[in-house]
Each structure stands twice: as C-alpha cells, then as structure tokens.
Amino acid sequence: MTRDRISTDRSIASDERRSGLRTLRRMGPYLWPKDQLWVKQRVVLAIAVLVLAKLIAVYTPMLYKGAVDALAAEGVPPLALGAVGLTVAYGMARILTTGFQQLRDAIFAPVGQRALRQLALETFTHIHNLSMRYHITRKTGGLSRIIERGVKGVEFLLRFMLFSIGPLVLELTLVAIILTVLFDAWYLVVVVSTITLYVWFTFAVTEWRVKLRREMNKQDTDANQKAIDSLLNFETVKYFGAEAREAARYDGAMRAYAQAALKTAYSLAFLNFGQSVFITGGLIAVMVMAAIGVQNGALTVGDFVMVNAYMIQITVPLNFLGTVYREIRQSLVDMGEMFDLLEQPADVTDRADAKPLKVSGGEIRLEDLRFGYDKEREILKGVSITAGAGQTLAIVGSTGSGKSTIGRLLFRFYDVTSGRLTIDGQDVRDVTQKSLHAAIGVVPQDTVLFNDTIRYNIAYGRAGATQDEVEQAARDAQIHDFISGLPEGYDTQVGERGLKLSGGEKQRVGIARTLLKNPPILLLDEATSALDTDTEQEIKDALERASEGRTVLTIAHRLSTVAEADLIVVLEQGEVVEQGSHEDLLAREGRYAHLWQRQQADDQAVA
C-alpha cells in the first residue's frame, strides 16, 4: 500500500470520526432538550430502571448457585429459602429482569418517537426551503433514501447507545468485580482477556464490514433512484417501448446490490464464527479453572454452576456487540448524510431585515437584469422591462430566449446576478419569500397535481377554502361541468402527478387552483399550451376576467394568446429586441411581425 493511499485512508477515517462526533453532538438536544422537562424525566427514569434491571440480573446467578448448593448440601445459601424457594426466587429474578427491561423500553419510547418525528419534520421543512438549483441537481429517489435511512437511524442510535453499550459496560464491570471478590484475580484476568480479544476482533471486522455496508447502501440508493425515475416517467417508457430496457437497467443495479449484499453476508458469517471462537475459549478456560477448584474442594458445585451462568450471561450481550456496533456505525453514517443535508445552505434566503411585500398596485420592473444558471453561460443580458400596475405584460420569443427564466426570477426561485427586479418599488430580494409567494399566482406550462382528489388539488390554492369557493374556481376555469360528470365528482382521484387526467384537464385544474388563491399578480407560463383551440378561448376569457385589477405576466410561445396584452416584449438570446402593443409591433415589420406571420401560416396550413 502506498504512502499516499495510507494517508488518504487515515484522512477518511479522521473525517468519519469527526462526522460521528458531530452527529452525536447534534443528537444531544433531541435526547436532553432544554425546554422539555418531561423528556429529561423519562430519560432519567429509563436509566434508573435500566440500572435496577442490571443489578437484579447480576444477582440472579447467585440464587442459582444457592439452589444447586442446597440440593448438594454444600456451602451456605444466599437466602434461607431452601432449594425450592431459591429456585422460585431465581425464576422471579429472571422475570423481574425482563420486566424492567420492557418497562425501560416503554418509558423511553416516547422520547425516541419525539426525536424521530422532530428530526423528520426538520429535514422535510429544510428540503422545501432549499433552492431550486439544489433540487434540479439531486435525484428524488436518492434524496428520499437518505432521509429514510437517516430518520430510522435516530431511534436505533438513541435506543442502542443508551440501552446496549452502556448496560453492557455496567454488566461486565459488575461481573468482573463479583468474580474477583468471590474467587480470585485469575478469573478476572481470563474474563478481561477474553472480552478484550473479543471486542478487538469484533471492532476490526466490523470496520471492514462498514465499508462493505456503505457500498451496499450505495448500490441500494442507485437501484431505488432508477426505479423511481422509471416509474415517474411511465408514459415515456411506454412511448418508446422501453420496458425491457428499463427492466435490464434496474436489474443491473440490483445485480450490483446483490453482489455487495453477498459480501456483507459472508463477512457476517466470518464475524459470528470468530466471536464464537473467542467466547467459547474464554468459557472453557474459566470452567476448567472452576472444575479444578471443585476437585480440590476449594469451590462448591454451586460455584461451578454460577461461574458458568455468569459467563453465559455476559456472552449474550457480547454476541450482539458486533451487530450493535455495526448498526451504530452505520446509523452514524446514515445520520451524518442526513445532517449534511440539513447543513446544506439555501442559495435563496431571506435577509435579516426582510419585510413582508406590500402590493399596492402591482407594478413589476426589471432594471438591467442579468442572470445565468451557470457562470459561464449568461441567459439574461441586461433586460429592462416595466409592467404598469394592473397591466398585462406578455413576454414572447423563441425557445431558449429566457422567457421562463424571468418568471423564475420573479418568484425568486433564483436571485439575479446583477440588476434589480422590483414589485411596487420593492426589490424582491428585500422582502420575505413567504409574502412574495403569497402575492403571485402561477399557472405553469406543465401542471403537476398531487396524488389526491380533484377537490384537494383545487383547494390547495387557499387553505380553508369552502366547497362553494372550490366549485366557483372550477367554473371560472371551465372545468366544473367536467368534474360534475365524473362518477365521484370532486372526490375523483387524479393519480400520480395527475396521470388520470388529460393534459388540458390537468391544466384547467391548475388554473382553478391559482384562481382560488386570488393573488394580486398572475404569472402565466404557457398556461394554455395544453388546451385545444375552443377550450383555449374559454380559458382566455376566464383568465381575462380573473386579470381585472391585477398585474399579469404572460410567458407565451403562441402569439395569438397575447395579442390583447397591454405590452408585448420580444426576447431573443436574453435581450429585448422589441416591445410595444400588438398593432405597433406588426407595423414595425420586425421580429414579432415575422413570428406572427409564420404562426398564422402554420395555423392556416393545419386548418
């Protein structure tokens, strides 16, 4: 192994340790919150019950020894109960040990569930607060897998670190003290040596297995991403007859996962066998020492049985040490990935002094606006446009000219590189995103619906909307009659992403949703692109009524939908090449007139 490779491995291990410590520090407030007294009380009570259970468990073999000595008429029993009484006491002690362990879990369960719920909500909220730039670069399947594994790791980490590692250390310490006091130091030497070798072997092999497990998780995430991506693009798969191709792609990912899982399984078998060798070796050594003591008359048969009971008693938790340690390490890795996600900064954030947006008229002004998704490629190159209060501004141009980008900047999915974008004189970067989003209603080109009812999807436009308001919005969007004709009416399920509805039906539901929101500013991004000519005219009428008294920003490719706009701006390659009314632009016989004539000719050819 080269020196660079060793240095790299050490650096990775150091980073992992720091990540693990960071994760443990982040978990502290969930286990011991400042303002939640009941959580602290439950944690303390659970630990107290745990200690009591371990004390009883450590004393139990003494009762077993007493019962054996009483039957063999040897030694002095710990309690004057006789063989039968000591046997009953032994059974009761085992029942109490189990009972207190279950009581401990019951006491702690609300603490673990609270931490899980709080962290899951924090992660979910943070993801929604992340910028559009982040979401378009991540795969939904992989993101959901990170969250799923991280949240599951919370409860496991809390439970096993508190109730496995700590209790194991306590029990081993008590057993070591008892063996030293009741017998001699050699028993302690053998037990400590056995445990040391066992722990060393377990940790060494588990570290190796963690790397295998990480690779398995990587392949699992990849397979899940491919499955979700394929299902989300169900129609595309069908269009191109690519079912077999998708199945082969998914099977390839699952093959890699299966190979990684097999390595993990083989390493587990090696770990279990090695652990058995160390534990059995220690058990034999201690039992031989006890057997010699019985033969010499220094120990009773009860002592021999008690030593065996103690060794078996510490063997049980030790057998789980490898699994617990591995799972704790894996939980730290999984939670570390989730905390990395929580620490991912948002590109677009509210300023410390941000104030709510106050819309008095709705004037939208773009002043020398420049923006690019990548630094190397500028999309908007000094765009200056003004839409007066209550006016309809239409932005047209060829594909890639930057039309939709202006809409994203207005809604502040991104921040401008330079220049200003204001609403009634207020820079959108100086107001809260919540108030900005509340003031703008958006009808996108591709309306995506929740996998719920039509009622839910329309009512999503305004929390607490009544059924009458939902139906009125549907009437305005020219879709009420269609919904009423469905067997389940407004309770009809729309399917994943609204696949049970046609493109035009989805679009009208989206329009109804925005009309219900009733914002002072409307952003229509190719809002009628999925509609036929007759429906388009109906929707145009509805949108015109909804536009009264509002500022409307319409982004369109079909010029016939924007001919009546107060101001039409023609964009080409991120620059304003023309602006004016429909009649003015036709009279100039420039770029707009050329696009108009071409589209008119195309429409006549289709007709």
Dump pLDDT digits (tens) for 35-63: 888 888 988 898 899 889 888 988 888 88
Would you tell me how many other CB atoms lie within 10 Å of the CB of residue 381?
A: 16
Stretch among 331-340, 392-401, 435-444, 565-574 having the lowest mean pLDDT: 331-340
241 vs 23, which has greater pLDDT?
Answer: 241
Would you tell me how many other CB atoms lie within 10 Å of the CB of residue 585?
A: 23
Residue 468 pLDDT exceeds 90: yes
134 vs 186, which has greater pLDDT?
Answer: 186
Sequence ranges of the chain with CATH classification 3.40.50.300: 372-606
Can you give the pLDDT at residue 11? 47
**How far from 326 is each of 161, 202, 268, CA to CA, in Å?**
12, 9, 10
d(CA 390, CA 552): 7
The string of pLDDT tens digits covering residues 346-397 is: 778 888 889 999 998 889 999 999 998 877 788 899 899 999 888 889 998 8
pLDDT band (50, 70, 90) for residue 122: confident
d(CA 140, CA 200): 40
Query: Three-class SS of residue 551?
Result: strand
Can you give the pLDDT at residue 142? 60
Residues forming a β-bridge with 367: 420
Q: What percent of the chain has pLDDT over 70?
A: 86
The string of pLDDT tens digits covering residues 253-274 is: 889 889 988 988 898 889 888 8
Can you give the pLDDT at residue 2? 47
Q: Residue 470 in contact with residue 516, Cβ under 8 Å? A: yes
Q: What is the mean pLDDT of the chain?
A: 82
One-letter amino acid of 301: V
Report if pTM > 0.85.
no
Can you give the pLDDT at residue 50? 86
What does the block give as tokens for 158? 């809390």
d(CA 34, CA 27): 13
One-letter amino acid of 61: P
What does the block give as tokens for 9? 């491995």
Would you tell me how many other CB atoms lie within 10 Å of the CB of residue 103?
A: 17
**How far from 25 is each of 18, 29, 111, 288, 543, CA to CA, in Å?**
10, 8, 17, 46, 54
Residue 7 pLDDT exceeds 70: no
pLDDT band (50, 70, 90) for residue 5: very low
Average pLDDT value for residue range 494-501:
77
Residue 332 pLDDT exceeds 60: yes
Non-local CB neighbours of 437 within 8 Å, separated by 6+ positions: 411, 412
Q: Which fold has domain 26-342?
A: ABC transporter transmembrane region fold (1.20.1560)
Average pLDDT value for residue range 465-469:
92
d(CA 270, CA 208): 12
Residue 518 pLDDT exceeds 50: yes
Sequence ranges of the chain with CATH classification 1.20.1560.10: 26-342
d(CA 167, CA 171): 6
If we measure between CA atoms, which residue out of 424, 399, 419 comes closest to residue 409? Answer: 419
End-to-end CA distance of the chain: 74
CATH code of domain 372-606? 3.40.50.300
If we measure between CA atoms, which residue out of 601, 606, 568, 561 comes closest to residue 587? Answer: 568
pLDDT band (50, 70, 90) for residue 10: very low
Can you give the pLDDT at residue 99? 92
Task: Using CA atoms of 555, 557, 563, 568 in order, give the dihedral in degrees to the nearest 10.
Answer: 50
Residues forming a β-bridge with 578: 570
